[in-house]
Structure 1
Amino acid sequence: MRVGYARVSSADQNLARQVNQLNQANVDKLFQEKVSGKNTQRTQLNALLDFIRQDDEVFVLSLDRLGRNSEDLTRIIETIRQKGAVLNVLDLPSFEGVRDCNLKALLTNLVLEIQKYTAENERQKIHERQRQGIQVAKQRGVYKGRKPQYVADSDDPQKRLIYEQIVKLLQARAQGKRLPITEIARQTGVARNTVYHIQRQLINHQLLNN
């Protein structure tokens, strides 16, 4: 079976382009969702990984639709392999004409490894350029820092909702409920640093007991 997966990062983005190209690839079943790649609770991706079987083919438009970093991608790709399925990335070279299944799998895996390395290397370069830019801005006295994404007055309804969920969980934690910061981060799909930042804000504004 040919199984497709489409993902965009936020509710206001459109899945139509991905869905259209996956339909052109003649997928038999399509999983799609609107959720950040940072979120470990990608419900439809997990459903796809549970659904696929031996000799199925998984189609995505680009590799970054599956994950945001090399570790995440490696885990997902390995799960697909263990299920006996094959991953096809539409914006990477195709080996449809290769009849030998073992050779086709070898070539596909080689391209995926190269792509993962290239993407991770580019992300590291971007982070380094950002770090250098921040350092220069601080030296000039013009660096104000990045505006937090998860705030009560966020322009993004989904981020406002997540913020409210984090606040409720932190309040429950402050009232004695055994709820580690790691668990709050897992339930809301954000980094632990984000939860700690919101916790510090609430404490500073005397809205939360330490």
Structure 2
Amino acid sequence: MKIGYARVSSENQNLARQIEALKKSGVEKIFPEKVSGKSVQNRPELKKMLEFIREKDIVTVLDLDRLGRNAQDITDTINLIQQKEATLDVLSLPSFTDIQDVNLRGLLTNLVFEIYKYTAEEERNKIHARQNQGIQLAKERGEYKGRRRQYSPHGSKRYLYKRVVQMLRDGTNIAQIARSTGVQRRQIYRIKEYALKVGDLGTPKREVNS
């Protein structure tokens, strides 16, 4: 069976391009993921896929980096796939399926994977180094303001921020807000602290017990 795995790092990103490519390659079942987890345990759809696959299945991804955030993550995931005696097909990399010799095909495939992981890791390290240099330069110039707050009047999650603030104004308790919005309690306390600081909250009503 040909099984696909697609992943983006956040809810705001779109899986459509990956899913379309997987379907065109003949994938029969797709596990779509919208999360930036550091391990298999933090990526529920990847975990489901690894539990689902069987011997001789083909796991297909558009790019190798969909399997992990760094070279070690990718290696660990590939090992888990191989432990199930399934094979990995990466659409953006050369395919050696026409080679009849199984050992040679496996050798060439693993070689390509290792080269890709090395170059991807090097590129990631260079990007981080440039980012750190830019931040340091901005700090020296007094221009660095840090990461923009997501839960704020103008942040990427401003609608959730406004909803949480309104519920706090109404006296709704933290547990009920968490259940209604899906926002973690710890984050709600941070929103509350920030809203009080910037004057969005004022003095909240007394919380109503649930």
C-alpha distance in 1 between matches for 2:26 and 2:99: 19
What is the SS of the residue equivalent to 1:121?
Answer: helix
- Indicate whether 1:165 and 2:190 are aligned: no
- Indicate whether 1:50 and 2:41 are aligned: no
What is the SS of the residue equivalent to 1:7?
Answer: strand
CA distance 1:163–1:32, change in 2 (3 Å): closer
What is the SS of the residue equivalent to 2:59?
Answer: strand
Matches within 5 A, 1:63-102: 63-102=64-103
Residue 166 (structure 1) shift: 4.5
Q: Which runs of 5+ in 2 are unaligned?
A: 162-177, 198-210
Residue 5 (structure 1) shift: 0.8
Residue 9 (structure 1) shift: 2.4
What corresponds to 1:7 in structure 2? 7
What corresponds to 2:119 in structure 1? 118
What corresponds to 1:23 in structure 2? 23
Report % sequence identity.
53
Q: Give the counterpart letter for 2:138 in structure 1.
A: A
Residue 54 (structure 1) shift: 1.5
TM-score normalised by the chain length of structure 1: 0.72
CA distance 1:168–1:138, change in 2 (3 Å): closer
> Alpha carbon RMSD of aligned pairs, Å?
2.9
Residue 159 (structure 1) shift: 8.3
Of 3-12 and 114-123, the range deviating more from structure 2: 3-12
Residue 12 (structure 1) shift: 3.3
Figure out how many residues of one structure are paired with residues of the other and give that number. 175
What corresponds to 2:173 in structure 1? none
What corresponds to 2:108 in structure 1? 107
